[in-house]
Structure 1
Amino acid sequence: MNGADQTDWKDSIQNLKRAFIGYDDTHQFGKKFKNEVRIGDVILIAQGQNSNKKFFLCGFVDSHAKYERVKGTPDVAQNRKLKFTIPKERLNQLGLDFNNSTWGESRQPATLYHLKPNEVEADHEIVRLLSAELNQQIIKQLMENIKLSEDRQFQIKVLWSKFKDGIKEKNKDINNQQIESVINEWSLYKDKIINDTLSLDEYTNILGSHTATMPGGYLCNFLERTTRVVLGSSKPGNAENFEVKLNNDNQNYFIKSLGKPNANREEAEAYFNDTVKEVVSSIVMASDPLEKIRLVGGANYSAKQILMKLAVLDSLKDFLYMYSSQPIDELYNEFIDGDAENDFEKNHQVCIVAKELLEVNDNDRGELILLSRFLWTYVNSKAIADRDNPNVIMYGPPGTGKTYTVVNSLDFVCQGDSSRYEVLQFHPSFTYEDFIEGIKPKGVSKDGNIRFELVNGVFKNFCIKAKKSPEKDFYFIVDEINRANLSTVFGETLLLLENDYRHNGDDSKNLIRTQYATLIEDLIKEDEKAYQHLAYTIDNGEVKFGVPKNVFFIGMMNDVDKSIDAFDLALRRRFKWIRKDCDYDVIEENTRFKDKDDFINMDQYIKACEKLNNYISEDLGLGKSYEFGHSFFMKISHIAKRKEITSNNAGVLFDLHLRPTLNEYLRAVFAESELDNRLNEALSRFKDAMR
């Protein structure tokens, strides 16, 4: 290229933030640029002798190679987009020393060199300086693209401060002890992985086996269960997703990718050594978090959650300790205006923004644990109700944690300010007068007659309180909402619950007159000071009522209750419906022997719980609404006397906590003479699964 062309290309590189090479893939360098450079790799564009090198751009590869003429460039060339780039001005300030590096002396801009930081000291120092600067560019550019408003940032900071203040010093010490223990145990596995001495038995095994001698027994169990106490749950959905798994017969192996459910040990050894070990070792040996992200995303391995946990163990400060897509997606979409597609990349970017926003100390492992727990609580609390769906019904079988979830989430969101939420329980005699307003007996007069007064109902008073603090969110929670006559309770105010008919406090739109509005006006004329509190607002002399935009209405109910029919279509369409079923992950993660240690056969117990619920919903034909919630099954913690749950333990749990409820369910469907047989069959299914 002539001088003018070189100047144009240098301008294009900096303006378009792309790496270009003039060769197509028939040339050795063009072929290397296309096939060997990977997304996530770092490209440094420079020219000149090592003693006097000029830099133009550095960044992470963000696209595959294309041979084309990009608008704004002099000619056709292969190109790759770069992101989180370091501009030339900053590059030339870093003091990069290429003497004795593997970068050649060629002046040709189309020559490719591959630095070797693990082999060459000069290369190592160049990569160290570039990595540090690239990390700063990532932080800078992510914070520039943050979506959170200043008000929302302040709210999250307050929540974080409150959350940390609520953690007892004793629990902080426990967190620090547990993470220290996990890291020490992990080092035993890491050494074997790096030295290529990790065996098949140390990767997959059966707890209690004489060969399961590593921390957690074996690596898969260590990653899934042992580490979850401080690094969160990375449950892969099914143990088969570990790609190679020892079967319960302690002899044959399941090899997923080969479609072999009963492979022999020789086949399992070969697959483990040729495939699984390479995936695991590449992630462990990668030092850069972005390289780990690329390796996890590109791995031919089903349990990506486990690979993410593997990466987290060596990069505690670079990732959040959460591994499922939904919470990560929600946090990313709320926090960042970006285009990351890989879940692990989103995780990394949210972690960077959260640490910067909340001023988290990278070197404080305990605080990093709290950060992940805080964001997990935050995203799950937000999921209950939002501005787009201010009215929510949570429904499902008894014991699925509906009330627990709502109350704990709101205590977090409201920063412990209980004045911002109201919890009550509906019952068949609950009326419009209790809810909105009505005339009620208020004691006895001097002459012995019952004295009646007009009073506000609990919801109207709550709306009046919320209207006075429009900058805060308020939550009205109704348990067993379907037990009252809902159309009668809501009356003419039902329309006001809809998002489009909420009162914004600034005008008279979306206000209505209630049935006692005229009486309230008369009372205010008679004694304004005594009766002013009865009015939500007075609009041009008329008493009116509205539901403020900052009020969220949350109802809960067990859908085995036939009074669910109380919800007519007019009510149903005004609510977002969230179903809560038995969550077997909750059983696994929160059921402990003496509230401390893991049960060694928790997998087997969970399968027993699933079999019982399947028998109820499918074999008995009762449906999922009649299954038992996880809180019933978690009572095994106080029944089992050893770290292994026995068939007899399951029988005791059934007789004490499950039989009475199931008996009532069956009584409505089967003849009295059939009940004992059905109950005994349910017990048998439950106990047999534990043998």
Structure 2
Amino acid sequence: MNQILYGPPGTGKTYQTIDHALQILDPAFASANESDREALKARFDDLTSAGRIRFVTFHQSFSYEDFVEGLRAEVRADGSINYVVADGVLKSFCRALEDGPKIETGTKFASGYVVTRSTDEILWLEKPNGSSLPLPWAIIDELKSLVDEGTITLADVREKTVFSRVEDSRLEKYIVNGYNNVLPHILEAIQSKTAAGPHRPGVLIIDEINRGNVSKIFGELITLVEHSKRAGASEALSAVLPYSKQPFSLPSGLHIIGTMNTADRSLATVDIALRRRFVFVEVEPDSRSLEGVEIAGVDVSKLLDVMNARIEALLDRDHRLGHAYFIELTADDDVRQLKQVFATQIIPLLQEYFFDDWQRIRLVLNDHRKAATSDRFIIEQEGSAAELFGDGNLEVPTARSWRVNPEAFDRPSAYQSIIG
């Protein structure tokens, strides 16, 4: 399933992607450890290391070339520049899912080499003499591609004749020829694994998906996101990619989870092509997670509810405050911790939301009904036309000027009176 978790900032959308990913990849573990966050995060990290989960953040500069494929410049040994087609985040992840676990840890080859660890970039082997050998996956994958295409054979790798058949490649001669006793075994193991079964399920997490230009980033692959168009489906489709000129399809086991900050862009403005292909799950501020937290006589859960009700009335529900801003607070804290949250996060966020419309910010904070000026977070700047422009300009119309009142942040009554 493709899904997008959407809601105001601070509601825990990225936090929840861990739960959603585990419910897809290891539902039994997720269910058994539902309340053990540390165990869930550890399992998430394990699956990420195993290549089953990949995380990427969209932004305004993120492109099709970053996500699918594009040209990359490489400097050769002689200093010349060569342009090669390089896979982006999506394509490389799909390739990894297609290949499955390329080689299991503990695999022992006839030549005496043993696989000790595998990362996205390096396959680590233990040599017969006990020392470690890091082999770049880029070289192994390049050799596999050449073998699959029929350009070379495994015999060429064994007999050190690869470079008589391939002149222009990214291969390192000293590695290919230096480890010709183990590379053919590795390639055979990968081929056997690839042919053994279907694609592994995997989760691609796209944080802040609405901050990028989704239509440009996905390009022609937006059509293939639908499960009915995936490889192996009844209506499976593939697209010929513009740089490699090779057909490409999305594996059936690929799940995409996106997060969307509604304060950046309303759900109503989301590309219709994206809306058709994703299930949208709203993540709302959860004041219940703050129940029992009372600081200096301030019920933090109620404080959040009251401010959000006012923001929704003055602006909309997409700009409410998330509970994550307050989640680190405990009943043992004092007004200093509350001050830190309001001074560095809440007030600046309200200024951004209301474009420095101080009157409406005052309404959210209930400043207009506070009897004591020292309890008001936003106060009017003192001054007169005479002071600014001289006695001859008393009739000059001047705008009302406001400023943040530092004194209010240290007063428990300032927070208590937000609730009313």
Instruction: Normalising by structure 1, report the TM-score.
Output: 0.34
Residues 395, 559 of structure 1: 8 Å contact kept: yes
Question: Shift of the alpha carbon at 1:687?
Answer: 2.5
Which structure 1 residue ranges, 5 or more long, are not aligned?
1-389, 519-542, 594-598
Residues 616, 626 of structure 1: 8 Å contact kept: yes
Question: Which range moves more in the overlay, 657-666 or 629-638?
Answer: 629-638
Counterpart Cα distance in 2 of 1:662 and 1:654: 10
Confirm or deny that 1:552 pairs with 2:263. no
Q: Which amino acid aligns with 2:240?
A: R
Change (3 A) 1:447 1:504: same
Residues 616, 623 of structure 1: 8 Å contact kept: yes
Counterpart Cα distance in 2 of 1:460 and 1:566: 27
Deviations 1:369-390 (A, max 9, x none): xxxxxxxxxxxxxxxxxxxxx1
Greater gyration radius: 1
Residues 394, 557 of structure 1: 8 Å contact kept: yes
Residues 663, 679 of structure 1: 8 Å contact kept: no
Structure 2 residue matching 1:614: 3-state secondary structure: helix
Counterpart Cα distance in 2 of 1:615 and 1:686: 15
Confirm or deny that 1:681 pairs with 2:311. no
Structure 2 residue matching 1:407: 3-state secondary structure: helix
Change (3 A) 1:485 1:653: closer
The two structures, once aligned, show a CA RMSD in angstroms of: 3.3
Residues 398, 628 of structure 1: 8 Å contact kept: yes
Question: Shift of the alpha carbon at 1:460?
Answer: 0.7
Counterpart Cα distance in 2 of 1:433 and 1:652: 41
Which one of the candidate residues 458, 463, 484 is aligned to 2:89? 458
Deviations 1:389-445 (A, max 9, x none): x11111101111110111244357444321211001111111111111111222x34
Structure 2 residue matching 1:634: 3-state secondary structure: coil
Confirm or deny that 1:401 pairs with 2:39. no
Report the counterpart of residue 586 of structure 1 in structure 2. Answer: 289
Deviations 1:581-608 (A, max 9, x none): 10122222xx768xxxxx8978x43222
Report the counterpart of residue 303 of structure 2 in structure 1. Answer: 608
Q: Which amino acid aligns with 2:320?
A: E
Report the counterpart of residue 626 of structure 1 in structure 2. Answer: 319
Deviations 1:340-373 (A, max 9, x none): xxxxxxxxxxxxxxxxxxxxxxxxxxxxxxxxxx
Counterpart Cα distance in 2 of 1:559 and 1:489: 20
Which one of the candidate residues 454, 478, 488 is aligned to 2:206? 478
Residues 483, 563 of structure 1: 8 Å contact kept: no
Report the counterpart of residue 60 of structure 2 in structure 1. Answer: 428
Structure 2 residue matching 1:494: 3-state secondary structure: helix
Report the counterpart of residue 168 of structure 2 in structure 1. Answer: none
Confirm or deny that 1:662 pairs with 2:388. no
Report the counterpart of residue 333 of structure 2 in structure 1. Answer: 640
Q: Which amino acid aligns with 1:637?
A: T
Residues 651, 687 of structure 1: 8 Å contact kept: no
Deviations 1:558-613 (A, max 9, x none): 1111386773211211110011110122222xx768xxxxx8978x4322221111
Question: Shift of the alpha carbon at 1:614?
Answer: 0.8
Question: Shift of the alpha carbon at 1:676?
Answer: 6.5
Q: Which amino acid aligns with 2:265?
A: K
Deviations 1:511-546 (A, max 9, x none): 22222343xxxxxxxxxxxxxxxxxxxxxxxx3211
Deviations 1:314-336 (A, max 9, x none): xxxxxxxxxxxxxxxxxxxxxxx
Change (3 A) 1:652 1:544: closer
Question: Shift of the alpha carbon at 1:462?
Answer: 0.9
**Aligned residue pairs, count:** 258
Report the counterpart of residue 490 of structure 1 in structure 2. Answer: 218
| Residues 260-409 of structure 1 aligned to structure 2 (within 5 Å) | 390-409=1-20
Q: Name the structure, 1 or 2, with higher relative contact order (CA <8 Å, separation 6+).
A: 2
Report the counterpart of residue 58 of structure 1 in structure 2. Answer: none
Residues 307, 365 of structure 2: 8 Å contact kept: no
Counterpart Cα distance in 2 of 1:408 and 1:568: 26
Counterpart Cα distance in 1 of 2:13 and 2:73: 35
Structure 1 residue matching 2:351: 3-state secondary structure: helix
| Residues 115-130 of structure 1 aligned to structure 2 (within 5 Å) | none
Which one of the candidate residues 49, 53, 72 is aligned to 1:440? 72
Question: Shift of the alpha carbon at 1:649?
Answer: 6.5
Counterpart Cα distance in 2 of 1:438 and 1:566: 29
Deviations 1:240-279 (A, max 9, x none): xxxxxxxxxxxxxxxxxxxxxxxxxxxxxxxxxxxxxxxx
Which one of the candidate residues 258, 279, 282 is aligned to 1:576? 279
